[in-house]
Structure 1
Amino acid sequence: MLSVFRHTLPRHRPGLAVGRWLAAALLSALVVGGLRAEDGVSDDEVRLGMVNAQSGPAAGLGKGLHAGALAYFARVNSAGGVHGRRVSLLLRDDSYEPARTAEQTRQLITSGAVFALFGYVGTPTSRAAMPIALQAEVPYLFPFTGAEVLRKPVHPWVFNVRASYFDETEAMVERMTRDLGLSKVALLMQDDSFGETVKSGLAGALHRRELKIHGEARVQRNSLDVAAAVAELKRSQPEAIFFVGTYKQLAAAIRQARVSGLDARFFTVSFVGTDNFITEAGLAGDGVHISQVVPSPQDRTSALIRQYQADVAAADIGYASLEGYIDAAVFVAALREAGPQPTRASLVQALAFLQIDLAGFPVAFSPSNHQGSDAVFITRVAAGQAVPVDRLR
């Protein structure tokens, strides 16, 4: 099992007043709750609820996240679990549709079957689920999204491991402008809160360099009808297209761009689903740059990756499953800290002060910062592989 080292990171120095308030609130919740077992906790099991895309154009993300988390929990369970309890996942499919996310979330919470919500996929889906979790005071943990709405303001019951979309767009724009000298950057975005969030990050990163979005077109969520959007962008003759959407949409957009004679580089953020995009796009995907929020799942110089590869089926190796694996490791570390009789309040308190190193991948929270990592890695698709790069060419 991965060694977990506690350490102090200056970026996450807790605010004293906020920390005292949170500790007092959680202590009060514990007293009111007494020793009654929480929903989703039995003598031999802690059950998490996972509602995400298991079907539809974002299914690769949900399936990958689930496979990685399941593999880490299997490792922990085979060693006796956490305080004698195995950790399990109750999976539901929302097809990346917010209305279904909300419905499934309400059902899980009202059924009393789950201790916490874990590993949701997407910004619009999280916007649908998060208010329900907050109202019920159920932890909403480690969604696959970098949206600001889950980060600011800080919500006591919401925690994110991954870097934000603002982190990703800043890193990508820095490399686009410094390494490649690009200035005409257009946006092809999913027409919803996910698209708007990344657009805001992109616009801010460009503005800091005295640039602006050169052109903009939109596609509907879960739609592969991209021809009109690509034609609209072609009129502005961009040097680069920053894409915000799913892997099937990006593959369709690239093919349409090539057919229409639009010669522009494509860039996108981690949510696209790197491994699924490569499969979907084939050779057309070569040259696309993708920002990542976890290290390369092929980097065997890392102890984290060696263990991950040993635990996860070869067919499931990829960025999404690695993120799920890391998320599960963070949850297990917090569950251990929450004590032998875990409550939702004690779990959240443990997370609020958790600072760990997962064999070279640090994750640290504080009461005033519920984003555990701000790491961003840039990759370039080449010959069917996502190759980590320090400099764009």
Structure 2
Amino acid sequence: MQKLRLAALALVCCSLGWAGSAVAEDGVSASAIKIGMANATSGPAAGLGLQLRAGAKAYLDKINAGGGVNGRAVALVSVDDAYDPLQSAAATRALIDTDKVFALFGYVGTPTSTAAVPIAAKAGVPYLFPFSGAEFLRNPVIPVVFNFRASYFDETEALVAHLTGALGVKKIALFIQDDEFGEAGKAGVVRALSKRRLSVALEARYSRNTIDIEAGLARLKSQAPEAVIFIGTYRPLASLVKKAGQAGVKARFLTVSFVGSSEFIKHAGDAGNGVVISQVMPSPDDGADPLVKLYHADVLPAARNYGSLEGYANAMILVEALRRCGREPTRAGLLRALEQLQMNAGGMPVAFSAQRHQGSDRVYLTQVKGGRVTPVDKL
């Protein structure tokens, strides 16, 4: 009788898809954990996605060469969304439904995240460390979304403080990408100016994935602001500063980290000199910084830039969270581990909680000088 009962139990277990152990989560096998990444590796924002992926891959390659995480390799499944929300949504569905990834990681952009996050949230799939400072990814807290980088509120506060404090500038214009990213940056600038009883002097816009900045440039020329805070990608900003110089516009230009410093410098040439860029990572050239020192050991000089450094740090945090999930990782366990995570990413403090899914609020002000990015406090 006892043997019959055990046999019946075994049949029930098999019918439920398990026999003596829990059913594995999607993306988890005996040898690997699959992580999905959809971002721009083609099109006018390709430099951002390629850099972020290169840095993450460098760190994951090192971890996998050393045996992986709790005996499993971390396998990065990378697809291109060309910085297009529709493509990002389709790629996200494919990564979840077809590739069966354990988590999503390293997306690039606010409009793309706007399209992808609802899909991830509905499926209960962690959406980790997007290359965006948008406030909707932070407040209110979305259970599956975790951000490492400082927010656009943090970055624009630093830019406005620099302009109004150290430089005494008050007539500040906005030149923004006409979408969710532009609106996210605008909200930060307006907030920072309001704290100082100031308002935006004028606003100009351009369409995403274009370099059509002519109409906005005409407004800058006619109204002569003292400074322009640009919220967009590297190619339109490069075009803007070139043509602004030719048109005799004397305004200072400032932008947030999403622009991609190295790609901006490559496209802007000498016209980029003087542009102030807020960063959320230390300088990738600063070998004295503990995080950067680790990064230099794994990333060749030609691939060193702010984007790949951020990808490298993101992967470091991901690996530590996966380690804390133990030998039978689950998505719920990963989210719990992240909410309890306090660590140093190569000396850079990272802290999450149930109430705060942003790990760092550090901002570093830099300025382009002689084709290189230099910390403002060292100019």
TM-score (norm 1): 0.90
* Structure 2 residues without counterparts, runs of 5 or longer: 1-20
Query: Could you say what secondary structure the match of 1:390 adopts?
Result: helix
Aligned to 2:136: 149
> Could you tell me how far apart the structure 2 residues matched to 1:202 and 1:74 are?
39
* 2:294/2:346 contact within 8 Å kept: no
Aligned to 1:22: none
Residues 45-85 of structure 1, C-alpha deviations (whole Å, 9 max, x = no match): 11110000001111111000000000000111111110000
From 214, 217, 229, the counterpart of 2:216 = 229
Map 1:116-131 onto structure 2 (within 5 A).
116-131=103-118
Q: CA deviation at 1:378?
A: 0.3
Q: CA deviation at 1:310?
A: 1.6
Query: Could you say what secondary structure the match of 1:251 adopts?
Result: helix
Determine if the alignment matches structure 1 residue 289 to structure 2 residue 276: yes
Map 1:292-331 onto structure 2 (within 5 A).
292-331=279-318
TM superposition outliers: structure 1 runs of 4+ over 4 Å: none
Residues 265-316 of structure 1, C-alpha deviations (whole Å, 9 max, x = no match): 1000000001110111111110000000011001111221111012112221
Determine if the alignment matches structure 1 residue 62 to structure 2 residue 49: yes
From 243, 253, 261, the counterpart of 2:240 = 253
Residues 242-279 of structure 1, C-alpha deviations (whole Å, 9 max, x = no match): 00110001000111111211111100000000111011
* 2:150/2:280 contact within 8 Å kept: yes
Q: Counterpart amino acid of 1:226?
A: I
Aligned to 1:158: 145
Aligned to 2:6: none
From 333, 342, 361, the counterpart of 1:346 = 333
Query: Could you say what secondary structure the match of 1:168 adopts?
Result: helix
Aligned to 1:220: 207
Residues 161-200 of structure 1, C-alpha deviations (whole Å, 9 max, x = no match): 0000000000111111111100011011000010001101
From 92, 99, 106, the counterpart of 1:105 = 92
> Could you tell me how far apart the structure 1 residues matched to 2:293 and 2:371 are?
22
> Could you tell me how far apart the structure 1 residues matched to 2:74 and 2:365 are?
33
Determine if the alignment matches structure 1 residue 382 to structure 2 residue 365: no
How many percent of aligned residue pairs carry the same amino acid? 55
Query: Could you say what secondary structure the match of 1:235 adopts?
Result: helix
* Alignment root-mean-square deviation, CA: 1.0
* 1:116/1:141 contact within 8 Å kept: yes
Aligned to 1:53: 40
Determine if the alignment matches structure 1 residue 358 to structure 2 residue 345: yes
Residues 188-226 of structure 1, C-alpha deviations (whole Å, 9 max, x = no match): 100001000110100110111111101111000001111
Determine if the alignment matches structure 1 residue 86 to structure 2 residue 78: no
* 1:188/1:229 contact within 8 Å kept: yes
> Could you tell me how far apart the structure 1 residues matched to 2:94 and 2:62 are?
29
Q: Which moved more, 1:382-391 or 1:97-106?
A: 382-391
Q: Counterpart amino acid of 2:307?
A: A
Query: Could you say what secondary structure the match of 2:174 adopts?
Result: strand
> Could you tell me how far apart the structure 1 residues matched to 2:102 and 2:158 are?
36
Q: Counterpart amino acid of 1:93?
A: D
* 2:280/2:364 contact within 8 Å kept: yes
> Could you tell me how far apart the structure 2 residues matched to 1:387 and 1:338 are?
39
* Structure 1 residues without counterparts, runs of 5 or longer: 1-33
Highest relative contact order (Cα 8 Å, sep 6+), 1 or 2?
Answer: 1
Q: Counterpart amino acid of 2:333?
A: S
> Could you tell me how far apart the structure 2 residues matched to 1:233 and 1:369 are?
39
* 1:49/1:89 contact within 8 Å kept: yes
Q: Counterpart amino acid of 2:169?
A: L
> Could you tell me how far apart the structure 2 residues matched to 1:94 and 1:171 are?
31
Q: Counterpart amino acid of 1:253?
A: L
Residues 20-68 of structure 1, C-alpha deviations (whole Å, 9 max, x = no match): xxxxxxxxxxxxxx82111111111111100000011111110000000
Q: Counterpart amino acid of 1:302?
A: D
Q: Counterpart amino acid of 2:193?
A: L
TM-score (norm 2): 0.93
Q: Which structure has the larger Rg?
A: 2
Q: Counterpart amino acid of 1:51?
A: A
Determine if the alignment matches structure 1 residue 77 to structure 2 residue 71: no
Residues 86-117 of structure 1, C-alpha deviations (whole Å, 9 max, x = no match): 11111110110000000110111111431100
Q: Counterpart amino acid of 2:198?
A: L
* 1:226/1:256 contact within 8 Å kept: no
> Could you tell me how far apart the structure 2 residues matched to 1:339 and 1:225 are?
51
Q: Which moved more, 1:254-263 or 1:286-295?
A: 254-263
